[in-house]
Chains A and B, each alone.
Chain A
């Protein structure tokens, strides 16, 4: 299984505008800006809602679920100690169609990744001499139950009702 906790990573420069994103993982939260008026999720962070131009924007946690929109198995050594092969993916969050993150997939062999695969966030805590960030990575997840019709009891021949 791919894990990167020992590999060198270039860390993001955290600013007041991005701190909710890079440090939300301290509380296990994948946080974005969201328009408090129309509900549009905003990423990367911006001081204005792109949908309704409201400036009434607040930090909100997303579900942490996502689907692999696309991915690549990288084989080229780009960064010392970050040894290939590893998976870079663009995941799309169910909250909004254009809410995507470029990330790494962990807890799965690269060859087992597929487009459309349900994943969930898992944070990798980095502490570089007191400079802390929580990188949102993603691992395989069970499919979200979007349709519970299969739980509706159905009649079987002996008269009992059981879940389908």
Chain B
């Protein structure tokens, strides 16, 4: 790996910002609702939660912007939401080329910290369950731009995978997991703890999609998708929109609940931006984003009360745990053994407390940030973590990481 240029530590301007409100639309399988309708539901929910009205919103950020491919992947961009709510914006940004899905929130943090705007509505909308209809994931095949005229031709980065019948991140991540299994002896039983734990937590989340109990036998016997990843290692396509409001820290006094103070962000990609050329496929870019985040704070992994870590595929969560230093590189398997460390009620690091994307639905990164705030603000209901954070009875520090492969961004939040 090339030696990284270190960020200026006295910068750390993310600390001048907070998450002041969160919102979420209805979440489910095949809601068959207009994605803009879902987005507005989440946006108004978040704006109200932040003690604001649409007239106060002067920034707008989203991932990945409006795009039609793959089906249901977005369908709503800055333009649609701005116009629907007639927002008067000082700053806006939407796009796919960012450090993961939360890159859009980090863009907003930067915009507020540099004084470009005061309150940014950040949102992520998916309607993949409806868009795929009854065709399931077999409909998710194309990506990137096509060739001109007639037959579709793979171009851009997809040209290196699509011709080899490898159209899905399921395959790309499976190869990273296989390499991890090979180098470190990681087992399916160890990886399975992530799926089992998420299902247990989902049973306590009224908005989760899959809540039936899952045993290790269930996990080991379900059909394989791409070795070593089985069906339960893959997240569940869902419909739903999630919104968060990024504000100046001074706004914390104007809301009727705690703020989530942004302690540090991580955005680095210090290896090659590629699913197959990245130097260490067992760490992915998460290694770099996490390292950068810790470079920007005096807090340590031991200070973190809860972790909400992307699980588009369960192996990504394992890689985030290692990248963030909760265990060493390659030690994720043994660390997860038995699942006690990540248990909601007693674990040293309750993980994906809402059920993650594996069981609560693929809200694509933003669901983890929503859940971190839910826990920090004591709104978890039956799934509220109560044994971390000291006398407050709720967690005080949360880490959120989203993205996999060459895409990764993370935030450290304090109540």
Contact = CB atoms under 8 A, between A and B. Distances in A.
A12 B153 contact: yes
Contacts of A70: 175-176, 178-179, 182, 281
A72 B226 contact: yes
Most interface-central of B159, B161, B164 (chain A CB within 10 A): B164
B340 interface: no
B179 A115 contact: yes
B223 interface: yes
A10 B226 CA distance: 20
Contact of B163 (A10, A69, A74, A90): A10
Interface stretch (A28-36, A98-106, A139-147): A98-106
Given A75-B223, A98-B277, A135 B163 contact: yes
Given A70-B178, A72-B229, A133-B163, 12 more contacts: A11-B154, A13-B147, A13-B154, A69-B281, A72-B228, A74-B226, A75-B226, A76-B138, A78-B167, A98-B272, A98-B279, A104-B164
8 A-B pairs with the lowest CB-CB distances in the bound complex, closest first: A13-B153, A70-B179, A72-B174, A12-B159, A13-B147, A13-B155, A73-B227, A74-B226
Interface residues of B, number: 45
A88 B227 CA distance: 10
Interface of B: 137-138, 140-142, 146-147, 151-155, 157, 159-168, 170-172, 174-176, 178-179, 182, 223-229, 272, 275-277, 279, 281
Contact of A77 (B138, B170, B179, B229): B138
A123 interface: no
Contact of A78 (B146, B153, B168, B223): B168
Nearest to B142: A10
A9 interface: yes
B382 to A, nearest CB: 34
B141 A78 contact: yes
A28 to B, nearest CB: 19
Most interface-central of B138, B146, B225, B226 (chain A CB within 10 A): B226
A7 B227 CA distance: 21
Nearest to B159: A12
Given A13-B155, A76-B226, A79-B141, A115 B160 contact: no
Contacts of A71: 175, 178
Interface string A118-145: 0000000000100101010100000000
Interface in A84-124: 86, 88-90, 98, 100-104, 115
Given A100-B276, A103-B164, A10 B152 contact: yes
Interface residues of A, number: 40
A88 B225 CA distance: 13
Interface string A16-47: 00100000000000000000000000011000
B137 A102 contact: no
B163 A11 contact: yes
Contacts of B172: 102
Given A10-B162, A70-B179, A78-B138, A43 B225 contact: no
A61 to B, nearest CB: 19
Nearest to A116: B182
B18 to A, nearest CB: 40
B151 A128 contact: yes
Nearest to A80: B138
Contacts of A15: 155
A102 B164 contact: yes
A115 B154 contact: no
B353 to A, nearest CB: 29
A96 B149 CA distance: 37
B139 to A, nearest CB: 10
A125 to B, nearest CB: 13
A115 B227 contact: no
Contacts of A9: 163, 165
Nearest to B282: A70
A75 B167 contact: no
Contacts of B138: 76-78
